[in-house]
Structure 1
């Protein structure tokens, strides 16, 4: 994939569109679910604490039936019920109730509520109080007072002619049809309603906080985000793989777990690196990262994958300060790159065989006061020249870009550059800074690797068909491939460079940049 082709696929608005779909929302929820739940729990706890400070209120109610007094010819009309509602809460009725209940009229007015059900000649007299017994007695007392008031106003009055006639105000009679009962549960505060509203508000607040945190978060979101920040393609996404009892040994997944998705990811990475090597006519690969990413594991697994394909590979640990490639293979640094550069060791003595066929390791070597002098020395350049002409691939574990100037100097050698970003730790700022640091060799950057990616759906689609035991790949060397000893690399063999070039099954890149092919009879043609 060329830079123009992958750049054409990246739309600046695509990330904004992705944030509006369900995938973005689900990612935010999955990423910040602990804080969302914590916020919800805090809001619910606060609501519960507030409810504890509130005094519970109990309500009791009595029902009074209103009907025309005996002797009247017409029923009570709806508008009359409105009048009766006002009478039931009037001072005259409450004064009667106050005498029997020994409760001030003002307090009775505060807790009283009178309602008229639709299409019914009923008065529902409710009374609320913090004491359920007071609420019951007050509701019953006010209902009885209203009935007594209506009974008293229904007494006959004398007319001017000396005869008695019913009072015009006494056209209504009332009776209590439902007595007030003792309330057992408070009507206020409504605990279920308050807790339900608090839960909804807590979830909304938690999600809002999560969105703000995600907006302020500078970490990488996915491979597309990495491509946008780095202005370079992502060649592979390495899934997160839990470590087992073997510890660091599990980081060499291409060997310890050859049938895993992690191993499949490295096989895909190998294919793309080989494609870049053919198009660029190069066989030196520089593996680096912005800072503390696990580039050593990426370089070691890639080197092992290249070796398992039948190629002769040397893994060079050129990061004496932070390098971990030695530990991945369980080797020490008594003799290595630094001792060779300083003339204390020879290449043949420093190269170590690994458990992977055709893969040799050149450890970092003992520590020296000035590590930068190693990568910038003529001895190191000569060593790389010798290696690139003797083997199929040289993979260099280089120092981090932002922590050392050595990587910039190594990149100027014309090697391919592969950078590693960690989905858990690398932020956008460091990706942009690393890309800017290597801007002078931008054309040599073949792409990035996103390590510890947790959602690699494309990886499963790409590698489902290719899953097979890794031993098969290791057991398919080309029938025309001669077997070289490592004395050939150190110069002790008299075999010519032309014969050494035959190590590659098909094609190999030489120092001169010529693309050589092996014919069926073993001769070489430019």
Structure 2
């Protein structure tokens, strides 16, 4: 941490830069307090207690001799069920949904106690106790009705079992009467009579057992419980937070949080914020500041909008480039640390500015991964660098590369020549031959290369050209990227002559070949190159 960062002036400057964060945090915190913190309200709570009587139809029938038990947790869930609450809402004529009512209702049953504590919390004091008691009464009624329905179903099941027995008994009695009639010899078959009598006795015993079980069910007391006295007197409950107090606390917290957030963001925001950041990280001067360009064709602004602020900025940058290199400047590279920082537009407009200053300019589309220069000038499909790197790089090959370069907007254009193929590895020897030929012709070679941190071609070109300039995009470049770029360029002994601050948002590249229409009219205004 630097010593200057500890001074109060630093914090004041940081808050001045990030004042909107403090304001935003304060407003958001206040809105959050208004929206989320519940306002202070008064409610009334009353509790009704219900005794639950254990009921077991199996024990009543004699099927299970074990005594009945009560599951208080299950019974509490039944007391909060939709059927019970729905009946209470209808009986009390309450304009609430089941879910809304359930939010105000609490039912607690302690294991083994056979007691349910039914608590209702509402806004009207005189209603709280009545509603709690109504829930208890409706629960007990529902419980008794549930057991009654089960009993009736079992009684019907017994009737369904008894009726076939009655039919069988009637048949056996008829058979017994027939067996009592003597046969032709005047004899009665005692064995048949004994068998029929035995079956009759067995069926009659079964019928008696079924009828007794049925009668026990019909006469059973299914009262499932009873209320234990009246509900408790309503107790006043204060909920929520005072709205004014909440706003005061939220404002203070918002201010403190906003200040902390502003200082934190300023400390760890590694984006480049001003020229000092650029010069510190690159250890090179800022020689150009490109303002926000509002024209529809920013890539052409130096050629077709010559009196605009953007065109003048590029011409000033071109003058600085020529002043820095003088007559010994024959080649320069314009690169960036990352993509989308306005590198292509800076290359085109710088080349145009140098051409307008009277220099012969060859614009080289050396970003063979993303050849935007080809797209802008309609060079796709033409032979260029990639073809040259695939050749033997003889003097005739170099001369042909230069002689075939088309002329648009006064610029001689060397295409990437990549097309749809995988680019040929960059040939340092071939690049040296190109630079030598450009110098022999008295031209300035302006190279557009991929970001130096993303592809080695940028570093290779930077190591050979006379000067390298770095485009730094507003809001895109990070300080650590510029530091890394400086180290990489220093490693290849590149001459970093300066930086260009781009204050525009991302520039759009024109449609392929869109410059052809304006090339001829602009060419007539350009001075002759030496």
TM-score by length of 1: 0.52
Mapping 1:131-280, distance limit 5 Å: 191-192=243-244, 194-242=246-294, 244=296, 249-278=297-326
Q: Distance in 1 between matches of 2:383 and 2:270?
A: 41
Is the partner of 1:291 in helix, strand or coil? coil
Q: Deviations over 1:125-170 (max 9, x none)?
A: xxxxx99xxxxxxxxxxxxxxxxxxxxxxxxxxxxxxxxxxxxxxx
Superposition pairs for residues 48-127 of structure 1, below 5 Å?
Answer: 48-55=35-42
- 1:15 CA displacement: 7.8
Matched, 1:44 2:31: yes
In 1: Cα distance, 2:503 partner to 2:424 partner: 30
Give the Cα separation in 1 of the matches to 2:383 and 2:522. Answer: 33
Residue 386 of structure 1 aligns with which residue? 437
SS of 2:375's partner is helix
* Higher radius of gyration, 1 or 2: 2
Tell me the equivalent position of 1:20: 10
Task: Give the Å deviation of 1:283.
Answer: 1.5
Q: Which runs of 5+ in 2 are unaligned?
A: 44-122, 125-237, 506-520
Structure 1: state its 5+ residue gaps: 1-11, 57-129, 132-185, 455-470, 478-482, 485-502, 504-526
Cα 1:17/1:411, change in 2 over 3 Å: farther
Partner Cα separation in structure 2 for residue 44 and residue 260 of structure 1 = 45
Structure 1 residue 255, shift from structure 2 partner: 2.5
Q: Which of 468, 471, 475 is the equivalent residue of 1:420?
A: 471
| Cα distance between partner residues in 1 of 2:432 and 2:447 | 13
What is aligned with 1:402?
453
Higher helix share: 2
1:16–1:442 CA distance, 2 compared to 1 (3 A): farther
SS in 2 for 1:52: coil
Distance 1:389-1:40 versus aligned 2 partners, 3 A rule: same
**Residue 337 of structure 1 pairs with residue 385 of structure 2:** yes
Aligned mates of 1:198, 1:208 — CA distance in 2 = 15
1:213 Cα deviation after fit: 1.6
Q: CA deviation at 1:311?
A: 1.7
| Equivalent residues in 2 for 1:274-289, closer than 5 Å | 274-278=322-326, 281-289=328-336
Alpha-carbon distance change, 242 to 39 in structure 1, aligned in 2, over 3 angstroms: farther
Tell me: CA distance 1:342–1:21, structure 2 relative to 1, closer, same or farther (3 Å): same
The verdict on how the C-alpha distance between 1:441 and 1:343 changes in structure 2, with shifts beyond 3 A counting, is closer
Aligned alpha-carbon RMSD (Å): 3.8
Q: How far off is 1:268 after superposition? A: 1.7
* Aligned-pair CA distance for 1:432: 0.7
How many positions carry a matched residue from both structures? 317
1:402-481 alignment runs, 5 A limit: 402-442=453-493, 444-452=495-503, 475=525, 477=527
In structure 2, C-alpha distance between the alignment counterparts of 1:287 and 1:18, rounded to whole Å? 39
Q: Distance in 2 between matches of 1:472 and 1:23?
A: 47
2: CA distance, partners of 1:243 / 1:476: 21
From 17, 29, 32, give the equivalent of 2:19. Answer: 29
Describe how 1:357-376 pairs up with structure 2 within 5 A.
Answer: 358-367=410-419, 371=423, 373-376=425-428
Q: Which has the higher contact order (CA 8 A, sep 6+)?
A: 2
Q: Which moved more, 1:192-201 or 1:414-423?
A: 192-201
